[in-house]
Structure 1
Amino acid sequence: MEKVIFLLTFIIVTSSCTEPYALQSNTFEDVIVIEATITNELKIQEIKISRTFQLEEKEPQVETNAIVYIIDDLENKFNFVESNGKYISQFEFQAMPERQYQLFINTSNGKQYTSTREKLTAVNNLNSIEATVKNKFGVNGVDITANSFDPIGTSKYYRYEYEETYRFIVPYWAPDSLKINYYVDPQLPIYFITSSRSGPSKTCYKTDKSTEIILENTTNYSEDRIENFSVRFISQTNFIIADRYSILVKQYIQNLAAFTFYKTLKDLSASGNVLTPNQPGFFSGNISSIVNKNEKVIGFFDVSTLSVKRLFFNYDDFFPGEEKPKYFIDCEVIEFDISLSCAEHWNALCGMLVRMEQKTIILYEDDDPLYNMVIPKCGDCRTVGSNIVPAFWQ
């Protein structure tokens, strides 16, 4: 949602203009941004609170030291505590049918915010997710689709997220690392010592979360059925499917107000340029200031049912015998001949020493006095992902 926050920064500072113009920092308006979704899944629930940020800044500022809690219509209170840039519930809990939930936030500067009361939406499980080879817009790849059906037609509004995890192998791996053995006497030569690496560094895993807003609704369909709805399309040339890939798809059932809020965000993000004569202006969700009803607040308190499915596949499952995608960056093997002196060839011994101390190169092949080196991302997978196998991996 950071992309959305950045977009809304544009909207807020330009909502009163009628012609495009260069934005200045003094037009910036500081607005609170609240991302709050609780579900029927028994878990530690999470809420994110941040601020809009200026155009020259790279990311939003996290709102710290706030008091955050949810109260249901039976006066049960669920407290949230600050942790790693977000607010998490002190205990696991789940949204229950027929209960009404209301969010409260008190910021460190004394401002108070609350949401409307919200009820859990209808339960509709994600029946399946499937991966098939398809060609989209002239690109061959794997299309991951969702399927679900509500026979009584009470779901209607769907939002999807995904977490994708992939296993990958670095292209220029060596079992040993190279270290410099310095001597006190500068007249003595410098030697290099090889030793086994401290841990597995050839094969790793990386998890990325979806950043786009993925929505579908069945209001214009003859039945409340999601069929072969594309959640994620991956090009055949994408490095993330080169070995083994897994995706966890999350299906949220929303009410009309929540769906409308996210649909508006999606439409704005797809417009590409909000600095146009047709300014959409500021729009709000279901969260407002308790004291100042005119204060702008970005965000929505969503109480949704959640259903998840996971699948795995290997590249060869869909493209047997075909060339695998290239690594995500171009890797250059750099040769150093340390038999040459610094005066004779800077890129030999001295250049190698400098880059090793800066940790910008690591060993690939050792054939003393020749050393072939690569940047860490090409030879140590831990600089890109984690060498710990995920608990769910198959």
Structure 2
Amino acid sequence: MKKDFYSNLTLLTCLASLLSVHFSCIEPLDFWQETQEGQLIIYGLFTDIDDNHIVNISTSAPLAFRPKGVSNAAVYLLTEGEGKAPYFSKGNGVYELQGVKSTEGKSYALEVVLEGVTYRSKFQEMPKVVGKDSLSYQVAYEPFRSSLDEHVFKVFAKSEIPETKDQLFLRWIVEEGHYWQLLWIPPGTPPPPPCFIFDVMDPTRVNLFDGTVTSSRQTERLLAIRKFDNAFLFPYFVTVKQLSINREAFEYWQQINIVINNKGSLFDIPPAPVFGNITNTENPNELVLGFFEVAKSSVSRFFVTSEISPIYLQPICEFIPGKPTNQYPAECLSCEGRAAGRDWTSTIPDWWVYD
């Protein structure tokens, strides 16, 4: 399986956004212009979901290059007043923790030991409540990320916000998963293994809710948008994770959102590196990018089929007698070729159920 967390990790904060029920990944938020080469970037999310929790560690690279994964660190989850649990390296700066999840009333921190230097986040208590989402989608024709009009797929959420005396801050992550069928050359050869490809949908959109500025117990919002392509040829799943986070994490993502949406006018806040809650224990003046979040989470999911597509989706991996294999696109020959840096597996996820 390809690296499990965040296919195209490029963040200023290695913002890999956070775990889906089966996978974890995050897309590039290209703030490399604002960082210095070699700055340490640490990002992790720890929730109450039964899942493999991921930490990404990298260093910023020169202009126009992605961060470089750091795979020689020792990484631990710290539970206040208790012991620590090790993360295991999966290579390329990805570290995974299995069989552990956050528990109400307990506080957690992240510890990273790299070349004899210890980096540690602040302890955070898992929030007590989280809302519930009702999801819907819409097919539209409108400008996407170019000047051209395109058919797009939009994901919406109507969220019920719980009553609580505690301050409530929410963040949403939208992840997509699609099936992909590789080239099969009959007869005499067995069908190729299936490909399940995972990615973050609309990765530069930051969805936040501040419960301290409203008394409303309900909110509706557009969570993500993407154009139609051949990912919709087969069943296409959307997973929405609502995260209940603390104020510090909320303010961190607010700053990330400012950087992402900065348009460069004279009155905008200048883009700059966003520093999080992880420090060098011996040298607090070292600038470390990234954040370690502890969140309570709720997960909602739905799927659609090619029937909703407003455009014709051309199969590109159909066998043509006499056509040499090397003349087919790479995405027809291997799951890795199709994934192109995204997460993938040949094992069907346990939630991949549709009529």
State whether TM-score is above 0.5.
yes
Give the structure 2 partner of residue 9 of structure 1.
32
- 1:252 partner letter: L
- Report SS of the residue matched to 1:2: coil
* Contact residue 107 and residue 124 of structure 2 kept, 8 A: yes
Between the aligned residues of both structures, percent identity stands at 19
Separation in structure 2 between the aligned mates of residue 306 and residue 39 of structure 1, nearest angstrom: 6
Structure 1 residues 290 and 167 mapped into 2: Cα distance closer, same or farther (>3 Å)? closer
TM-score normalised by structure 1 residue count: 0.68
Describe the SS at the equivalent of 1:159.
strand
> Which residue matches 1:292?
283
Inter-partner Cα distance in structure 1 for 2:122 and 2:235: 44
Matched to 1:160, the amino acid is W
Q: 2:110 aligns with which of 103, 114, 136?
A: 103
1:71 equivalenced with 2:78 (yes/no): yes
Q: Which residue, out of 153, 158, 166, partners 1:147?
A: 158
Q: How does 1:111-130 map to 2 (within 5 A)?
A: 111-130=117-136
1:311 Cα offset (Å): 0.6
Residues 273 and 33 (structure 1 numbering): CA distance in 2 closer, same or farther, change over 3 Å?
farther
In structure 2, what is the equivalent of residue 21 of structure 1?
none
- Counterpart amino acid of 2:312? K
In structure 2, the residue matched to 1:245 is: 236
Following the alignment from structure 1 to structure 2, what is the Cα–Cα distance between the partners of residues 363 and 136? Answer: 35
**Alignment length (residue pairs):** 313
After TM superposition, give the deviation of residue 213 of structure 1 in Å: 4.5
Please report the TM-score for the alignment, with normalisation by the length of structure 2.
0.75
Distance (Å, rounded) in 1 between the aligned partners of 2:10 and 2:264: 16
Match of 1:196 among 171, 188, 192: 188
2:298 paired residue number: 307
Change (3 A) 1:135 1:218: farther
Bigger Rg over Cα = 1
Residue from 376, 385, 393 that aligns with 2:328: 376
Which residue identity does 1:130 align to in structure 2? S
Cα distance in structure 1, aligned partners of 2:95 and 2:179? 30
**Contact 1:169–1:381 (CA under 8 A) maintained in structure 2:** no
Q: Secondary structure at the match of 1:241?
A: helix
- Deviation track 1:133-188 (CA, whole Å, cap 9, x = no partner) reads 34555654432112322231546422222331223567xx6634xxxxxxxxxxxx
**Residue 231 in structure 1 maps to residue 223 in structure 2:** yes
Are residues 378 and 74 of structure 1, via their aligned partners in 2, closer, same or farther at CA, if it must alter by over 3 Å?
closer
Q: Taking structure 1 as reference, are residues 133 and 10 closer, same or farther at Cα in structure 2, changes over 3 Å only? A: closer
What is the alpha-carbon root mean square deviation over aligned residues?
Answer: 3.4
- The residue identity in structure 2 corresponding to 1:120 is M
In structure 2, what is the equivalent of residue 34 of structure 1? Answer: 42
Cα distance in 1 for partners of 2:300, 2:169 equals: 18
Q: What's the CA shift for 1:282?
A: 4.2
Return 5+ residue gaps in structure 2 as ranges: 1-8, 15-28, 144-148, 340-344
Distance in 1, matches of 2:59 and 2:274, equals 16
Distance 1:231 1:7 in 2: 20
Mapping of residues 275-290 of structure 1, within 5 Å: 279-290=270-281
Structure 2: which amino acid aligns with 1:223?
Answer: S
Write out per-residue CA displacement over residues 299-323 of structure 1, whole angstroms, 9 at most, x where no aligned residue.
112110111111112232x45xx65
Counterpart in the other structure of 1:255? 246
**Partners of 2:172 and 2:241 within 8 A in 1:** yes
Deviation string, structure 1 residues 93-140 (Cα, Å, up to 9, x no partner): 1111221222222112x2221111211123214332222334555654
Say if 1:213 and 1:262, in contact at 8 Å, map to a contact too. Answer: no
Aligned 8 A contact 1:41 1:306 in 2: yes
